[in-house]
Amino acid sequence: MFLEKEEEKILDGEYGEVMEKCMKILVKLGDIYGADKLIDIKSVHSPGASYRVSGDAGLNFVEEVSKKAKFKCFTTLNTGGMDLENWKEHNIPEYFAEKQLRLTRAYEKMGAISCHTCTPYFIGNLPLENEDIAWGESSAICFANSVIGARTNREGGPSALAAGVIGKVPDYGYHRDENRKGDFLFKINTEVKTVREFGALGYYVGKIVGRKVPVFENLKNTTLDNLKALSAALASSGAVSLFLMKKEEDLERIEIDEEDLKEVYEKFGDKGKPDIVCIGCPHASIFEIKEIASILKGKKLDTECYILTSKPIKSLSDRMKYTEIIEKAGGKIVCDTCPILTAKESMNYDLLYTNSAKLAHYAPGVCDIDVSLLELKDCLVVK
């Protein structure tokens, strides 16, 4: 891979050991994937920001880097292991909280925005079309590539950290035009209009395409929340990082009918009374919280209910009095975390209701919880 003079100097250790280590990660990746140069990036969304994922090895690495380096570009943090302010309410063990706080502080020291979320585009990390970025978190990557039109590969914790410190990534994969083309065309013959339905579509298509690029024809009701659900589901049953919504003629064509989505609903069917409801995977937008508040106004929930979001969106919800309505109904808005990335000890439940196909996919394996994938209003069981 060709390196500019300054990049060579970093690799030769002239700017210290930490910079050298970061550059080595990027060069190694570039060599593996056949990149011929490094390119500048506009932002980073760093995965591995939950202690549950980073473990001690990741925590030590981030702390080591934070002593000597700062992020060169705008950097946000993916969902963490607990609500940074209210973790004591959620059965988080002390040892876990201590390590999560150390991890968050180390990222902050490097200049990352102190907010853990999987929807960084709702809190100001919003690149422009065709901008190169280095993002982790599969749902956010798929959303960034497909909805925003920015360009990122699937970065892991170390590569996103290295990219942020150096301000560059190797030029391969979805940074390049030739890889941003469709592989299969999906013609949608059934009405898809809710978060649950978009999630079911993504779940079904993700299983078919794996890591390839689906193109959707006749996809309507493309709201931000629906597209975030689609992105998340495509990236969980499959490993999709890019989907397209423009017609490409010479692709294998697959029809999607109502029956296909029914398969997904049956897999995650209604299994009786839940002991936990989780909405906001990926983290809820203010529009979703508004909808939840309008359903719950004046009612009482019959079960524990967590609305997952970021701190800035919760602040908006507080100001709009949605939080008050939700809390009066017995629900809680939880920031910075989610069932999949929080401490295992805090998810001691048997049956979870959600409208998120991504959460339905992961919760049984990661949290050992049975799941029903339902429409939002059916998740919010009231007395």
Binding residues vs ligand F3S (CB under 6 A) = 79, 118, 139, 232, 281-283, 308, 338, 340-341, 358-359, 362
Q: Which is nearer to ligand F3S, 97 or 142 (CB)?
A: 142
- How far is Cα 114 from Cα 158, in angstroms, rounded to an integer? 19
* Least distance from ligand F3S to the Cβ atom of residue 58, Å: 16
Q: Supply the minimum distance, in Å, between the C-beta of residue 124 and ligand F3S.
A: 17
Q: Is the separation of the CB atoms in 43 and 76 below 8 Å? A: yes
The minimum distance between CB 232 and ligand F3S, in angstroms, equals 5
What's the closest the beta carbon of residue 64 comes to ligand F3S, in angstroms? 25
Q: Considering beta carbons, is residue 127 or 282 the nearer one to ligand F3S?
A: 282
Instruction: Name which of 166 and 380 has its Cβ closer to ligand F3S.
Output: 380
Residue (122 or 362) nearer to ligand F3S, CB: 362
Cβ contact 289:308 at 8 Å: no
| Spatial separation of the C-alpha atoms in residues 262 and 257, rounded to whole Å | 9
Nearer to ligand F3S by Cβ, of 11 and 338: the residue is 338
CB atoms within 10 A of CB 319: 10
Rounded distance between C-alpha atoms, residue 214 and residue 142, angstroms: 11
DSSP type of residue 9: H
Question: Which among 62, 54, 27 has a CA at the least distance from the CA of 166?
Answer: 27
As measured in angstroms, the least distance from the Cβ of 132 to ligand F3S is 23
Neighbours of 356 (CB within 10 A): 29
Q: How far apart are CA 352 and CA 373, in angstroms?
A: 9
DSSP 112: -
**Beta strands 351-354; 370-373: pairing state:** parallel
For residue 346 the two structure tokens come to 């805090």
Distance linking the first and last C-alpha atoms of the chain: 63
> Please, what is the minimum distance in Å from the beta carbon of residue 257 to ligand F3S?
27
The DSSP code sequence of 141-165 is HHHIIIII--B--B--HHHHHHHHH
* Minimum distance, C-beta of residue 15 to ligand F3S, in the bound complex (Å): 33
Closest to ligand F3S by CB, 188 vs 373, is 373
Give 163 or 281: the residue with its C-beta nearer to ligand F3S: 281
